[in-house]
Structure 1
Amino acid sequence: RYEKLPVTVYADQQTASLAVAGRIAALIRSKQAQGKPAVLGLATGVTPIRVYAELVRQHREEGLSFANVVTFNLDEYYPMQPDAVQSYVTFMNENLFDHVDIDKANVHIPDGTLALEDVAAFCLNYEKQIEELGGLDLQILGIGRTGHIGFNEPGSAPNSGTRLVTLDDLTRSDASRDFGGKENVPTKAITMGIGTIFKAREIILMAWSGKKAPIIRKAVEGELSGDVPATYLQLSDHVEFVLDEGAAAGLTRFDTPWLVKDCVWDNTLIKKAVIWLSAEVNKPILKLTEEDYNNHGMAQLAVEQGPVYNINIDIFNQVQHTITGWPGGKPGADDSQRPERAEPARKRSIVFSPHPDDDVISMGGTFIRLVDQGHDVHVAYQTSGNTAVWDDDVLRFVEFAIDFKESEGEDAGVMRQTYEDMRKFMAAKQPNQIDSQEIRNVKGFIRKTEAISGARFAGLPDSNIHFQALPFYETGKIKKNTVGEEDIKLTMELLQKIKPHQVFAAGDFADPNGTHIVCFNIILAALTRLKET
């Protein structure tokens, strides 16, 4: 058995979140009927946000009361002021507590303002308060890329209690965008221990998206290890992992299902299995033998679809036909076995780039080859990317502009005043504070000039370089707005103007800010609507 604890997989994050919220609501109502408090262990971060949103909805629309609910949060950065935007106090208030009828006296979150010498006593009392209420009825968890639960980093003991811990460098790197840089992320935190979590009568760990798939596989199928604290949950009899399909994709039953069960062998699965087998045994596809198939869970495929020689030839040909030096199609060639059609010989192609560098990073070689082979190539930079520019670069560029203006004998007084205002703003700027409009403009100009330079190097004329500045992104904050009608409309208008034969979407769905997948979905929505018109 590969999976060492119960796992439930839902089609998507929204469906899974609704299911978890429903279980929490049922627990609260059950305890109310018994006249008892519902004692909940709560988590923060992106993972539980939709769960909390559904609980708020049920409170407003279905009368779900939190009057009998007592909560204990997993952790808090140390030191941390409760009114800081990165504080978990702020997070919980914004996402749940300010929108329901919970008694704030029943809310418990580790105190990030304590003097260092008072932390140990606070942690002991935190444990005592949970015990006096009879323990946690339900503990909600997420999981970090290091396998941490709460802030129980690698090396944490399975019987650990609430305590002050030092954060792993990867954990701090992952949090850096919330703090405006890793240097602003606290190095320590107060966290419930793994032993504290274990005492809960029910534990639900949630994870969404393919970014979490590797660590989920380790937590569910790996050996017990202090290097991956979440593996200790395998020792619990009352834990369940709730995943969406992306987070579950690395589990054996989804990733290599032939190792655990008979399969329905369609072409997609056969291709995946043969390529996997080739890598597993370190052999070329054409040299795979029936013994290789039989020894690696693929006997069913060999019997039902064999002989394996024919399978190997078929998959080799399929893979070969995806490889080309002509991304726009080879003019005059037989295109029946090629990934792109030959005609028209000169195509209009558009490359959508979420930020002003993703075109070069993700498909620079293809980009240049399309231009070199004579196609009419356009690039569309979907967002300004202005949150990824250092403040020092802004000052440097403005200083250059002042010097240039004065060298031309022009008055730079207004620009100098703007420059001084920028310096004053930056001197007092708090982590992740929204920049002034002038600073945001300059940051956008810097990214724009970088993008133009890269596109010109690839051979594009300026007329084929487009800057969309999609509204969902232009908030000045790491957290962006939801996609609106205008985002899709602007993309449709550009597509109608260019009328491309090819549409390329640059980027990486594992982008930590989530902008790439949002931009991709905007392209899909625009193409779908245009197809219907």
Structure 2
Amino acid sequence: MARLNLLEETRYEKLPVTIYDNPSVASVAVARRIADLIRSKQDRQETAVLGLATGVTPIRVYAELVRMHKEEGLSFKNVVTFNLDEYYPMNADAPQSYVTFMQDNLFKHIDIDPANVHIPDGTLPLEAIADFCLEYERKITSYGGLDLQILGIGRTGHIGFNEPGSAPNSGTRLVTLDDLTRSDAARDFGGKENVPTKAITMGIGTIFKAREIILMAWSQKKAPILKKAVEGEISGEVPATYLQLSDNVEFVVDQDAASELTRFDTPWLVKDCRWDSQTIKKAVTWLAKTLNKPILKLTEEDYNNHGMAQLATEKGPVYNINIDIFNKLQHTITGWPGGKPNADDSQRPERAQPAVKRSIIFSPHPDDDVISMGGTFIRLADQGHEVHVAYQTSGNTAVWDDDALRFVEFAIDFNKSQNISTQELETLYADMRVFIDKKRPNQTDTSELLTVKGLIRKGEAIAGARFAGLPDDCIHFMNLPFYDKMKVSKKVSYEEDILETMELLRKVQPHQIFAAGDFADPHGTHKVCFDIMLQALKRLKETDEWTKDCWLWLYRGAWHEFEIHEIEMAVPLSPQEVLRKRHAIFKHQSQKDTPVFPGEDAREFWVRAEDRTKETARAYDQLGLAEYEAIEAFVRYPF
């Protein structure tokens, strides 16, 4: 019976999917399977032939293999490897090359014979690539083919660098990279313009010949494309869907990556559900959105025709369900994000007491506060709360070089106008010019240049916070050490950052904390900053009494908004408040027009922010609630 139930739950899934709690556990499991293969081949005195991938996804797998080599005696002397791909053109010793990646993460830490390592050559002349690709295929065949191929998946659905349009029988070849793929790689190269437009990649046909294929995917960021690969129709537009044709494939994913699969996202379509309040809220808002109907107009027939007959039977009549969900959504809306004084707060998202709260907004970058919750920020200040803002990083990598020079030029001219000596400053400026003229893509700036860029963003952030109504002593620049440390090493300790955050929290003793919960941040800074803040808060909870009366609210940035069923506090903005928020964002001049790292969305940050909040307001309106100009959304996080 259990087997039948699982088949029913997964009936939309066209290939096997194994789900783990988190990437670490999943990576260890994959590494164990690789180790078992290597050892079984060693026992038979055979060669283990591995197809290897690069990128963030397999890093923990390689780390576990290295640990097993050092601590458990796992030998790689009988292993031959073939990497999936390499950028073209690309020097082997470049920081962004996959040769460097594999050496740093695996090869130089194990006992593999360098002659057994094969990676596409990014230094070849163009006319030699076709012959090289044929020889790459021949070498794989000469070893009897790949025993195991591990894969990641790109947001275009690419496997290897087989971008949309790739043929299912394609072999190793030179390809042109999709624009989204290059956007995702932009930070590693110091800007999208520096990302190679081409790559050499194994073909889908080559991958298919492997006796076993494991595709790995971690994080919410991969959830939409994973759903297409697992449940979608086979299409060249999503090359990973070709894996549905293989009998030897398994997808190994974490819970976040699996979150949009039907059995988790809309489970009522595939099984009987345990109808708790959150599942009901999600199902009813999904039904209203699917049918483009206000919640109060949903009928029993609507429920029955869309997999929700069980809900109608167990919790009905449906009109009562509709009223309950409508009221729950109505109660998320508040014009008092700090709580309404002297009011009944039993149906409000925030407490009425204390009437004046201490609130702190943690902003990972110097502009996330006003971009993500600028209207609420201003509202809190207007309503008399003691509002603090903490800028967690300097954001000094996201300033154009010529902007930095312009500010130094201003300082020189100002000093001259005041008859102040400028000799040292002019020398510093000349050194900056020389450095910038010779600067390589993604090269770390000099400390002086980083300081100037950090000061630019600091000045902008102060202007934005002042515009929101904050006094200077409520504006805190943390400049957490991890941000600069990660420019030179991926392995950093966060202890200093946690201790500094604890010190600030203990000083403010907030009743409310607002923190960035947008973990789809393509650069990862939001997640790191959140984890540091959360760890600090958990430590303080063990000793500090004020934490018992502190609530943590998550906001989201310019990438994605919370789903309607997730929102627990919705702060509506009038047209005038939207305009005030826009002006606060405009204080960040270095991020206006074209920022250094815009991601794949070409819109300016203020446009993204306004569109996102207007879409949230529109969604509430379409569900039958009041029509607002814009809504900023928050979710309460338990700690």
Match of 1:120 in 2: 130
Shift of residue 320 of structure 1? 1.1
Match of 2:194 in 1: 184
1:512 aligns with 2:514: no
1:62-85 superposed Cα distances (whole Å, 9 cap, x missing partner): 000000000000000000000000
Q: TM-score, normalized by length of structure 2?
A: 0.82
Amino acid corresponding to residue 291 of structure 1 in structure 2: E
Q: Does the aligned pair in 1 maintain the 2:391–2:477 contact within 8 Å?
A: yes
Match of 1:465 in 2: 475
* Counterpart-to-counterpart distance in 2, 1:119 and 1:202: 28
* Counterpart-to-counterpart distance in 2, 1:424 and 1:508: 38
Matches for 1:485-500 after TM superposition, within 5 Å: 485-500=495-510
Q: Does the aligned pair in 2 maintain the 1:472–1:480 contact within 8 Å?
A: no
Q: Name the Cα RMSD after superposition.
A: 1.0
Match of 2:606 in 1: none
1:102 aligns with 2:95: no
1:408 aligns with 2:418: yes
Shift of residue 482 of structure 1? 3.6
Amino acid corresponding to residue 169 of structure 1 in structure 2: D
1:488-523 superposed Cα distances (whole Å, 9 cap, x missing partner): 111111111111111111352110111101111112
* Counterpart-to-counterpart distance in 2, 1:149 and 1:118: 24
1:451-472 superposed Cα distances (whole Å, 9 cap, x missing partner): 1111011111111100111111
1:345 aligns with 2:359: no
Match of 1:41 in 2: 51
Match of 1:148 in 2: 158
Shift of residue 370 of structure 1? 0.5
Provide the secondary structure at the position in 1 that maps to 2:272. coil
1:445 aligns with 2:455: yes
Q: Does the aligned pair in 2 maintain the 1:47–1:208 contact within 8 Å?
A: yes
Amino acid corresponding to residue 229 of structure 1 in structure 2: P
* Counterpart-to-counterpart distance in 1, 2:328 and 2:31: 45
1:240 aligns with 2:283: no
Provide the secondary structure at the position in 2 that maps to 1:72. strand
Match of 1:326 in 2: 336
Match of 1:250 in 2: 260
* Counterpart-to-counterpart distance in 1, 2:327 and 2:36: 54
* Counterpart-to-counterpart distance in 1, 2:441 and 2:69: 34
* Counterpart-to-counterpart distance in 1, 2:317 and 2:486: 59
Provide the secondary structure at the position in 2 that maps to 1:386. coil
Amino acid corresponding to residue 72 of structure 2 in structure 1: E
* Counterpart-to-counterpart distance in 2, 1:478 and 1:390: 20
* Counterpart-to-counterpart distance in 1, 2:323 and 2:492: 47
* Counterpart-to-counterpart distance in 1, 2:467 and 2:494: 33
Amino acid corresponding to residue 249 of structure 1 in structure 2: S
Matches for 1:29-428 after TM superposition, within 5 Å: 29-428=39-438
Amino acid corresponding to residue 135 of structure 2 in structure 1: N
Match of 1:502 in 2: 512
Shift of residue 323 of structure 1? 0.9
Runs of at least 4 residues off by over 6 Å: none
Match of 1:8 in 2: 18
Shift of residue 477 of structure 1? 2.0
Q: Does the aligned pair in 2 maintain the 1:478–1:513 contact within 8 Å?
A: no
Amino acid corresponding to residue 386 of structure 1 in structure 2: N
* Counterpart-to-counterpart distance in 1, 2:310 and 2:28: 38
Q: Does the aligned pair in 2 maintain the 1:151–1:191 contact within 8 Å?
A: yes
1:9-53 superposed Cα distances (whole Å, 9 cap, x missing partner): 000000000000000000000111111110000000000000000
Shift of residue 478 of structure 1? 8.2
* Counterpart-to-counterpart distance in 2, 1:507 and 1:292: 34
* Counterpart-to-counterpart distance in 2, 1:404 and 1:479: 38
Which residues of structure 1 form unaligned runs of 5+? Answer: none
Q: Does the aligned pair in 2 maintain the 1:40–1:137 contact within 8 Å?
A: yes
* Counterpart-to-counterpart distance in 2, 1:10 and 1:476: 28
* Counterpart-to-counterpart distance in 2, 1:507 and 1:297: 31
* Counterpart-to-counterpart distance in 2, 1:530 and 1:278: 43
* Counterpart-to-counterpart distance in 2, 1:269 and 1:509: 23
1:468-488 superposed Cα distances (whole Å, 9 cap, x missing partner): 111111237286554522111
Which residues of structure 2 form unaligned runs of 5+? Answer: 1-10, 544-639
Match of 2:573 in 1: none
Q: Does the aligned pair in 1 maintain the 2:47–2:78 contact within 8 Å?
A: yes
Q: How many residues align?
A: 533
